[in-house]
Amino acid sequence: MENVVCTFCGSVCDDVQFDTQQYKGKKFCALGMSKFSAKERIKSPMIDGKAVSYEEAIDAAVDILVNSKKPLLYGWASTVNEAIRVGVILTEKLGGIYDQCSSVCHGPGVLSTIEEGLPGGTLGQVKNRADVVVFWGSNPMEAHPRHPTRYSVTAKGFFVKDRKERKVIVVDVRKTKSARLADEFIQIKPGYDYAIFSALRMLVKGEEIEAEEVGGVSVSKLAELAETMKNAKYGAILYGLGITQSRGRDRNIENAVKLIQLLNRYTRWIIWPMRGHYNVVGAGEVPAWEVGYQYAIDFSRGYPRFSPAEFAVSEALLRRDCDAALIVASDPVAHLPKKAVEHLKSIPVIQIDPFPNMTTLISKVVIPAAITGIEAEGTAYRMDGIPLRVKKVVDSEYWSDEKILHEMLKRVEVRMGFS
């Protein structure tokens, strides 16, 4: 058994162990174990379905990229920072679009940060101090199965030593598995998160609401929640796609952040997103330090421009703006709107991924990669930004994402006369 770091979800559990002979693990949740189980791989690099060498595939990919007017380089949330960094520089040199999974996921959280900021903290703060935890539109039991035990529900910490000392509230449109863990479940009408945050802000300030209910919740119930929040010593709202991808999107989060700003005038509260893929945080942090923005970045003018309404993956594809695509560690064919996928099908696509998926089927060049966290190492950021080094514990013939991208960048620089 080797100590490894799980590379499935944003919890990035770093206490798991992996038997490299049997491909069995200890302490993994079902989601993590599925990633670390033996399963079908892309066998070899391919051009038009025909097996080729890594060099040939990379040359073909570079041909496509340097002949493209505006390539889309998309994915990144399931690889390490070292690969992402090369990917950002590659996009910059090519004058393409860099986008990552956040644009169809937690991107609205970036927009609300631009509007109002983000009063947050690490998961250890929740574990050690939070006496009130609110899961809002998030469902850790199904999306981040070990989150409740490691960080947020039954986790025993320095000041909050016991589950009994922590009140857990779930706010959602349906009774999720996580709701069963909670001390209290508040069911709201779909699309009313914004209104409820506004109501809570009024109630915390002591203003009266002239209505019986807001968003399907009685005002007396909301007043009770407002009181619970004000009386917490250290509270945390952990929100999910339930508010980022429902009516209001970034405005929902912005309103939630304003509630947190207000609560900090009385006591301590933080708010934090429950990020999905294991390094989706890195997929935003790396371009932020390299070029200033987290996602939806266009380099066609030789410098980065950020505009989610134009340069996010779906929007760029719907506009037929890109004439080639490099997809790294992602499956846009399975997840993007049908019309966007249609355009993707009509342009040359290069895929880098350890596993075959829907996108493999439409890719002209397919380059298999080592599985990061098992066959390749690198840095990943947990959902709260804590950096962790994921491990290489198995030797493999497959090249790492970083190596593949680095070889591409080297060739692109030569072809474009930069080196």
Partner 1 sequence: MGIMNLHIKNGIVIDTKNGIKAEKMDIFVKGGKIVQESEIEGDVKVIDASNKLVVAGGVDMHAHIAGSKINSGRTMRPEEMRIVRQTAGKLRTSMGRVLLTSPAIGYEYAKMGYTTSFEAASPPIGSLHTHEELDSIPVIDKAMLPVFGNWHLVFKYTAEKDTEKMKALIAWAIERTKGFGVKVVNPGGVEKWMYGGNVTSLDDPVEYFNVTPREIITELVKATEGLNLPHSVHLHCNRLGVPGNYETTIETMKLVSGFKNDERQVLHVTHVQFNSYSGSSWRDVGSGADEIAKFVNKADNITIDMGQPVFGHATAMTGDAPFQFNLHKLLGAKWINKDVELETGAGIIPLVYLPKNPVHAVQWAIGLELGLLTDSDKVVISTDFPNGGPYTKYPYIMAMLMSAKMREKEIANASPYIQKATNLPSIDAEKTLEETIHMTRALPARILGLQTKGHLGVGGDADIAIYDLNPLEVDPSTEYEVVEKALSTPIYTIKGGEIVVKDGELVQEVWGRTYWIDAMSQVSTEVIEEDLDDYFTHYYTIQRYNYGVEEAWLRAPEKIVVG
**Binding positions for partner 1, 160-219, rule CB under 8 A:** none
Cβ–Cβ < 8 Å for 312, 321 = no
User: Which residues are CB-neighbours of 49 under 8 A, at least 6 positions away?
Assistant: none
- Residue 149 CB, shortest distance to partner 1, in Å, is 11
In terms of C-beta distances under 8 Å and separation of at least 24 residues, what long-range contacts does 413-416 make, across chains too?
413/93, 415/62, 415/66, 416/66, 416/93, 416/94
Termini Cα distance of the chain = 45
**Binding positions for partner 1, 301-360, rule CB under 8 A:** 301-304, 306
- Residue 167 CB, shortest distance to partner 1, in Å, is 17
Cβ–Cβ < 8 Å for 161, 199 = no
389 touches partner 1 by CB under 8 A? yes
- Residue 306 CB, shortest distance to partner 1, in Å, is 6
**CB-nearer residue toward partner 1: 185 or 239:** 239
- Cα separation of 112 and 107, whole Å? 9
**CB-nearer residue toward partner 1: 163 or 189:** 163
Distance of CA 268 to the CA centre of its chain: 26
Q: Give the max Cα distance, the chain.
A: 70
**CB-nearer residue toward partner 1: 160 or 349:** 160
385 touches partner 1 by CB under 8 A? yes
* Choices 64-72, 217-225, 259-267, 320-328; region in contact with partner 1 by CB under 8 A: 259-267
**CB-nearer residue toward partner 1: 57 or 226:** 226
Q: Which of 35, 106, 127, 403 binds partner 1 (CB under 8 A)?
A: 127
124 touches partner 1 by CB under 8 A? yes
- Cα separation of 134 and 380, whole Å? 26
Kindly tell me the sign of the dihedral angle through the C-alpha atoms of 273, 277, 278, 284: negative
> By the criterion CB under 8 A, which residues form the site for partner 1?
3, 5, 14-15, 81, 85, 89, 92-93, 95, 110, 113-125, 127-129, 150-151, 156-159, 233-234, 261, 264-268, 270, 284-286, 288-294, 299, 301-304, 306, 379, 381, 385-389, 418-419
